Amino acid sequence: MDQRGAPTPEMPFVAGMSHRWVTVRGASIHVAESASAGANAPVVVLLHGWPQHWWCWRRVIPELLPMAHVVAIDLRGHGWSSAPRQGYLKEELADDLCAVLDELGHGRVTLVGHDWGGWVGFLAALRSPERFDALVALGIVPPFQRLSPSTVANAWRGAYQLLLAAPVLGRTVLRTQPRAVAEMIRLGTVDPEAIDEHARRHYAEMLQSPERARASVQMYRTFLVHEVPHLGRYQREYLTVPTRLLVGRADPVATGAFLQGWQDHAADMIVEVIEGVGHFIPEEAPAQVVQAVRLALAA
């Protein structure tokens, strides 16, 4: 560990990106940031999901650099950000996001979020729409969920969350069984070479430290215990930020059963299902992600 509380593995390299840390809300947040593409260049913020970190955008970033100032953020407890004991409610992660943007001096941005990063993006856009020109969400479902026969029938797809949220078992698996995490990633992809064995192992090993294992457990335990019982509150929300939602046809999480009922809750949202792609869209379908960002910036 260094003085920022960051893990010791060497930072992966992506050309054009530099690194810094900002302290917000009791956490040291790692930010990978590009040089500006020009004085009037739009700001594109990238927010990863579990079990990854900023490096999951390595195939997207080079294509965005000519058109935008790119900011890739590690969520607390992930990557090279610190892992405090608290703060893993997704509304709190949205607070982190906005606080980081304030520290960096960015006003309105286009936000691209995958998995939990996409969920946090939805929550931030609902609460602070004035901060976002557009939202591109990947491999996630909108928070406007309600119980229905189809959602109940597909609830088994989230069974892995129970394992990760278990007080002792979750931390034990994360700390001692990196192959299990790597296998979760492999099973979530259609083409296993989209995230090769080296990358899968890298993501898994990053979660082996006690602090990051605890943070992952907190991500899922807070969701299941404190957030799922109150998801109905988002039935009263209305999304005004222009949004593009991309899901893979073979995504075991963001299935069609959970992509229903959002039409009454969004002013301008386009849903695109990508054939031949699983859950990890930034690495499986980077060209489609770049195209979605390009369309969002042009709107």
- Mean pLDDT to the nearest integer, 223-241: 92
Cβ neighbours, 10 Å, residue 154: 16
Per-residue pLDDT reduced to its tens digit, 142-192: 998 765 544 444 444 567 788 888 888 889 999 999 999 999 999 999 998
- Give the integer Cα–Cα distance in Å for 224 and 263: 25
Kindly provide the residue ranges of all beta strands, DSSP E only, lying in 17-108, ordered along the sequence. Answer: 17-24, 27-34, 43-47, 69-73
Query: In sequence order, what are the residues at sequence separation of 6 or more whose Cβ sits closer than 8 angstroms to the Cβ of residue 62?
Result: 14, 15, 16
- Give the integer Cα–Cα distance in Å for 294 and 108: 16
The verdict on whether omega for the bond into residue 51 sits within 30 degrees of 0, i.e. cis, is yes
Distances (CA, A) of 262 to 14, 17, 159: 36, 36, 24
Q: Is residue 83 predicted with pLDDT exceeding 90?
A: yes
Is the pTM higher than 0.85? The answer reads yes
Is the sign of the CA dihedral 78, 82, 83, 85 positive or negative? negative
Query: In sequence order, what are the residues at sequence separation of 6 or more whose Cβ sits closer than 8 angstroms to the Cβ of residue 10?
Result: none
Cβ 272 vs Cβ 244: under 8 Å: yes
- Give the integer Cα–Cα distance in Å for 16 and 180: 33
At residue 7 the predicted structure's pLDDT band, cuts being 50, 70 and 90, is very low
- Give the integer Cα–Cα distance in Å for 266 and 288: 22
| Kind plus residue range of the DSSP H or E element containing 284 | helix 281-284
At residue 226 the predicted structure's pLDDT band, cuts being 50, 70 and 90, is very high
3-state helix, strand, coil in the chain (%, to 5): 45, 20, 35
Cβ neighbours, 10 Å, residue 25: 16
- Name which of 77, 51, 5 is nearest 204 in CA terms: 51
| pLDDT recorded at residue 156 | 41
Task: Give the full edge-to-edge strand order of the sheet including 17-24.
Answer: 17-24, 27-34, 69-73, 43-47, 109-114, 132-138, 243-248, 269-274
Question: Domain residues of the chain, as ranges?
Answer: 17-151+232-298
- Name which of 183, 174, 179 is nearest 213 in CA terms: 174
Average predicted confidence (pLDDT) for the chain: 90
Percent of the chain with pLDDT strictly greater than 90: 78
Per-residue pLDDT reduced to its tens digit, 97-113: 999 999 999 999 999 99
- Mean pLDDT to the nearest integer, 16-21: 96
Domain 17-151+232-298 has CATH 3.30.930.10: no
Cβ 233 vs Cβ 126: under 8 Å: no
- Give the integer Cα–Cα distance in Å for 198 and 204: 10
| pLDDT recorded at residue 299 | 86
- Mean pLDDT to the nearest integer, 68-90: 97
